[in-house]
A = this chain, B = another copy of it.
Amino acid sequence: MKSVHFLLACVLLALASSLASAYDPNPLQDFCVAINNTETGIFVNGKLCKDPTLATVDDFTYRRFNIPGDTNNQLGRNATRLSVDTFPGVNTLGIILARIDYEPGGVNPPHFHPRASEILHVQDGTLYVGFADSNYTLFSTILYPGDLFAIPLGMVHFQVNIGKTDAVAFASFGSQDPGLVNVANAVFGTNPPIKPEPLARAFMLDVNVVKDLQEKFLSSDLAKKHVAACSTY
């Protein structure tokens, strides 16, 4: 029953704002400032642009990216992800930024970006970071303020604030819409849920543990985040 409501909320939110973003082919003119697909009801691979004669410097400017996100949630982290919806001049430019805030102990859980590589730039704090390549070799280290960490396209990676103070890092992506898949959610938090038996076999967990996980993921604040995410990305 909960999942039905969840689904409804998700669909309604999705209807209210476009899921789609744009990305990587070379630009075909100086710029192509994004407009919202849902205004026109026309969807393309990427985004429609506004009339270039109406572009202004505000389209190319994003203000106040120095405001910390709210980390008061189960994982103790917050990601402020920009997109061509919030920063429309970036459309067709092939880059975007995100800001990640971490409280002490905060975890940016294992995830990957299906459409971009990343460079993480630590501004404050001490982060335990790593990525696994497709041979499951872990490349991990500890980053301090001013350090950079490169994460190749599509590799699963994570960060943990192992310091005693808040941390903040900025991520640069080589795509205007890198996408974000938290692997725990993609497995245990889908809507509708994946049947638990094959998940139990795949994760070598008891089927009841899997069911319990699915319940937790759909009712936790991760799930609430999830609702928001499904309507804005």
Q: Chain A interface (Cβ within 8 Å of chain B)?
A: 10-11, 14-15, 18-32, 37-38, 40-53, 55-58, 60-67, 74-75, 82, 87, 89-97, 105, 107, 109-110, 112-119, 121, 123, 128, 130-141, 143-156, 158, 160, 170, 172-177, 179-181, 183-195, 198-199, 201-205, 209, 213, 216-217, 220, 226, 229-230, 233
B24 touches A29 (CB 8 A): no
User: Residue of B at shortest CB range from A173?
Assistant: B95
B187 touches A153 (CB 8 A): no
Partner pick for A201 among B75, B93, B170, B198, CB 8 A cutoff? B75
B25 touches A65 (CB 8 A): no
Give Cα A29–Cα B45 distance, bound, in whole angstroms. 7
16 A-B pairs, CB-CB below 8 angstroms? A22-B45, A42-B42, A44-B48, A63-B144, A64-B147, A92-B152, A93-B153, A128-B195, A138-B191, A154-B154, A154-B179, A158-B202, A174-B175, A183-B183, A184-B203, A204-B216
B52 touches A43 (CB 8 A): yes
Q: Cβ of A95: which chain B residues have Cβ within 8 Å of it?
A: 95, 116-119, 172-174
Q: Cβ of A87: which chain B residues have Cβ within 8 Å of it?
A: 148, 150
Closest Cβ–Cβ distance, residue A193 to chain B (whole Å): 7
Give Cα A25–Cα B75 distance, bound, in whole angstroms. 36
Give Cα A103–Cα B216 distance, bound, in whole angstroms. 31
Known: A43-B52, A136-B191, A204-B213. 11 other contacts (CB 8 A): A14-B135, A65-B146, A82-B148, A90-B150, A93-B119, A95-B95, A97-B121, A113-B154, A121-B170, A136-B185, A205-B209
